[in-house]
Amino acid sequence: MKFSEILEKLGDAAAVNSLSIKKEYDPEITALAAVDEATSGTLSYIEGTKFSAMVSKTNASALILPPDETLQAQAQERDIAWIATLEPRLLFAKVLKLFYQPWRPAPDIHSTAVIHPTAKIGNEVYIGPHVVIHQGVEIGNGVCIHPNVVIYPDTKIGDRTTLHANCTIHERTLIGTDCEIHSGAVIGAEGFGFVPTATGWLKMEQSGYTVLEDGVVIGCNSAVDRPAVGETRIGRYTVIDNLVQIGHGCQIGAGCALAGQSGMAGGVKIGNRVILAGQVGIANQVKIGDGAIASAKAGIHSDVPPREIVSGTPALPHKQYLKVSAVLSRLPDIYQSLKQLQRQIGQK
């Protein structure tokens, strides 16, 4: 695809570009690549000044750049075609869609699929080998269900949702439109509800619902648990990485991002646009406000205000955590100084 064709498909997003200066240089773009791995015929991107030195080193034929005239001039000198935008990574993601679309099978129902006669199946649906769909299930239009998926009774799957191979959807689960559930994920399984008694643990039946709103993505081998009563809810366009645990009765807002191995106990309430980095742990019933961020391995035991950034275990406001970390690294020296002072005092 010619660079000019890419610009045409991007429309207004590509308004500032090198062809307005040097129309004769219109390279053929055959692939996309990381800037340090790019070769002739590939397009890459530079995100901010941290990577600006790569403009003089990369072998890419085209770059997506920030609106920096110096970087643009460097690219121009090396005959690298460029597009300028405030969000290079976002534009790179849009260009990537021009070169790659995930594999999606044509609508069909495989002969080995087991579908209960009461299940309702929409139009243009793909149901792969060895899929099991129980009674009362409703499948929307354009849904794609890959091999070995099991869908328990009384479940609804919205239009254009994709269920990847070997995921399991338990009863009382409602999944919205345009969701994507990756392999090995378990949605709506029984929450960890047990009551201690004199003779052991009494199981509390989990009779609630699990709700995934529109556009939710669940990563491989993640679990979203069903509560005893009420619902566990994931807000629209929230994205959840692999190996994430969502406890029973949790409420997660819209547009959140939960990275791998993060987990939360039951009843946690998370606002909109919250980010949890890898291995963040959240204690029972904690509330996290809109726009908050938890850095990797943060252990959150108390409520977090909106737009706060927290780090460490137990989690502290990030600026305070940095001060604590600075002191922590000096503890051996401080300890030696303390011992010396004690000896001096003891000699007096």
Q: What is the pLDDT of residue 348?
A: 59
Mark out the alpha helices in the chain (DSSP H runs).
Answer: 3-10, 69-77, 88-99, 318-329, 331-347
Query: What pLDDT shows up at residue 47?
Result: 86
Encoded amino acid at 54, one letter:
M
Check if the beta carbon of residue 56 is closer than 8 Å to that of residue 75.
no
Which pLDDT band, with edges at 50, 70 and 90, does 238 fall under?
very high
- Of 8-22, 33-47, 109-123, the one with minimum mean pLDDT is 8-22
Q: Which helix (H) or strand (E) holds 181?
A: strand 180-181
What type of residue is 256? C
- The DSSP string of 100-162 is -----PPSEE-TT-EE-TT-EE-SS-EE-TT-EE-TT-EE-TT-EE-TT-EE-SS-EE-TT-E
Work out the angle between the directed axes of helices 3-10 and 88-99 (0-180°, nearest 10).
110
Per-residue model confidence (pLDDT) at position 15: 86
Question: What type of residue sits at position 342?
Answer: Q
Mean local confidence (pLDDT), 24-47: 93
In terms of Cα–Cα distance, which of 216, 222, 220 is closest to 236? 216
- 319: pLDDT confidence band, cut at 50, 70 and 90? confident
* Catalytic status, residue 248: yes
Q: What is the pLDDT of residue 337?
A: 87
Q: Specify the higher pLDDT residue, 200 or 342.
A: 200
Can you give the pLDDT at residue 258? 98
Higher-scoring residue by pLDDT: 23, 158? 158
With beta carbons less than 8 A apart as the criterion, state whether 146 and 128 touch: yes
Q: Which tokens sit at 304? A: 């977090």
The number of CA neighbours under 13 Å toward the Cβ of 273 is: 6
Asked if residues 187 and 147 have their Cβ atoms less than 8 Å apart, the reply is: no
pTM for the full model? 0.88
Amino acid residing at 10 = L
Q: From CA 156, how far away is CA 120, in angstroms rounded? A: 9
Q: Can you tell me the distance from the alpha carbon of 215 to that of 234, in angstroms, rounded to the nearest whole number?
A: 10
Annotated catalytic residue within 134, 146, 164, 248: 248
306, 271 contact by CB (below 8 A): yes
**Six-digit token pair at 79?**
């005959």
Residues near 142 by Cβ (< 8 Å), separated by ≥ 6? Answer: 122, 123, 124, 125, 159, 160
* CA-based R_g, the chain, Å: 26
Query: For 101-119, how does the pLDDT look when each residue is reduced to its tens digit (9 = 90+)?
Result: 999 999 999 999 999 999 9
